[in-house]
Chain A
Amino acid sequence: MSGGEVVLLYRWDVAQALDLIEREGVNAIAGVPTTMFELLDEARRQGRDLASLSGVASGATLVPPELVRRIDSQLTHRAAPTNGYGLTETSGAAIANVGDDYLRHPGSVGTPISS
């Protein structure tokens, strides 16, 4: 058995998100590209390194390749960027792109999830 904690924001607030990531030692975060760009921008502006993060996922819309490169460069290859593709009719993600695969194919949503 293993488990994890979920840290939630009532609504997106980039300053609060940065505080929570540090205080709770958040390992993975997911959000639409707009919020992930804001997170990286604000972290850079405040000089925070987001050291606890090992994964940054984005989706719900087309993810600009620029975000994938930013995640890798700003978090100095510590955090795996993740993207996926699926619809309500596929019960969530059917395709996924993670880590080095994603960095090599930053415009792709990935390959079919094994089932």
Chain B
Amino acid sequence: MKVRVVGPDDEPVATGETGEIWIKGPTVFRGYLNNPEATAAALTDGWFRTGDAGKLDEEGFLYVVDRLKDVVIRGGENIYAAEVEAALYEHPDVAEAAIVGVPDERYGEQVAAVVRLRPEATADPAALQAHVASRLAAFKVPSIVRIPPDPLPRNAAGKVLKRDLRAILDTQPAT
């Protein structure tokens, strides 16, 4: 298999820069059944455009930064949900964490976190924000943190359903 990371001009970006992950090789599919438009949009010269944002290091290791659509854009700054989630997971009290963008009048979007704590853990939103602030730039720190008691909504494959998180953010009391 082959991998490349491509910019908006469909050309590979420099090593270490973030772009869309493209994959080519014998196991890449031939197309979507009876959907030539979707197939044409997904394949370019045999390369499959994954829709995921990533980067390659000097040794050729691939880093998946996020789904392109899971980028929160706050005041013009791109914030990858996965980076903030990884920082939250480094807190010992955190059992599950997910980041979504919520509309904001001033910044366009704000970073919102939904976190489930481990049993008997006591971290509050301020502690989790301080934890992220100690690891990432200030603009990446979630301005909204909700800690519902239930497990995060997931699909059968175990992926967090970010649409359903927005419902939690609408119903849980503000912090």
Contacts and interface: CB of A to CB of B under 8 A. Distances in A.
Counting chain A residues whose Cβ lies within 8 A of the other chain, the interface size class is 35 or more
Q: Which secondary structure dominates where chain B touches chain A?
A: mixed
Contacts of B95: 34, 37-38
B163 interface: no
A32 B158 contact: yes
B89 A108 contact: no
A115 B27 contact: yes
Q: Which secondary structure dominates where chain A touches chain B?
A: mixed
Given A62-B66, A94-B27, A105 B61 contact: yes
Interface in A21-75: 31-35, 37-38, 41, 60-62, 64-67
Counting chain B residues whose Cβ lies within 8 A of the other chain, the interface size class is 20 to 34
Interface string B61-93: 111101000000000000000100110011000
A32 B156 CA distance: 11
Interface of A: 31-35, 37-38, 41, 60-62, 64-67, 85-92, 94-95, 97, 101, 105, 107-115
Given A41-B118, A90-B27, A91-B29, A111 B62 contact: yes
